A and B are shown apart, each in its own frame.
Chain A
Amino acid sequence: MKLARAKARGLCGGEEWTDTNLLDRMKDVGFKDRDYFDYCIKLTYAYSHINATSLIWGEVYDDPRLSNQKFTPEAIYGVTAQMLGHVIKALNCKFTDHFTEYNDIWNQIKVDKDIRTKMEKVKNTFDKNIVT
């Protein structure tokens, strides 16, 4: 009964809990294309929900390509630092000239440019193993 009521109100599991469209908001604040969305947002979504992409397949398939495709801490540090730069810039919008170091942060980091290639390799290898 409780479940039926929840369904009627559209409250069942897996549904969005806000009306937020993150991609629209990213475009609004200056992200020019979908790359960042596709390879950060979708990827982290996969890990939040522990879907097949996020399992450590290298532990069960004897394939060196799999065991070498994990994320490096440096890649995650890079994205984290980028986000902190944006946070500080947002603070500076309100408290003008108090938080001007966001450019320093962005200049100091180097995001892992191979993130897309790595993920494609992982996905392709995974698909291949499932078929065989």
Chain B
Amino acid sequence: MLDSEFEAMGRSIPNATILDKYLVASIYKAVRLTNAINTLCDSGITDEALPILRSLIEHTINMCWITNKDTSARLRQYINDLGTGAFGK
């Protein structure tokens, strides 16, 4: 589904902003997390998929929160959360 939508957009975003880049990176991550969950569940390793599910939930909430309103400020805050001062705490 997503592949056809990106195909319809010409697989490029002219003059991509930081928000555009964040969204593309985020959807890529969301798909990878989903694939990981599906792979584990398909193999019967259901409970062990839950930590990855939490990652997907948190990632999704962040995406929704950023795009919901005050997008520029929220994206800045999101990126600053992962700044060198906070990284690894």
A: which residues have CB within 8 A of B? 10-11, 15-20, 22, 25-26, 28-30, 40-41, 43-45, 47-48, 54, 56, 70-73, 76-77, 79-80, 83-84, 86-91, 93-95, 98-99, 101
Contact = CB atoms under 8 A, between A and B. Distances in A.
Interface in B24-54: 26-27, 30, 34, 37-38, 41-42, 44, 46-51, 53-54
B27 A29 contact: no
Interface of B: 1-2, 5, 8-9, 19-20, 23, 26-27, 30, 34, 37-38, 41-42, 44, 46-51, 53-54, 56-68, 81-82, 86-89
B61 A79 contact: no
Say what secondary structure dominates the interface of chain B.
Answer: helix
Contacts of A70: 46-47
B50 A25 contact: no
Contact of A28 (B19, B34, B49, B65): B65
Nearest to A40: B57
B65 A29 contact: yes
B88 A17 contact: yes
Given A47-B47, A93-B67, 17 more contacts: A18-B86, A25-B65, A29-B65, A44-B53, A47-B51, A54-B50, A70-B47, A73-B46, A76-B53, A79-B57, A83-B30, A83-B34, A86-B63, A88-B1, A88-B2, A94-B19, A98-B9
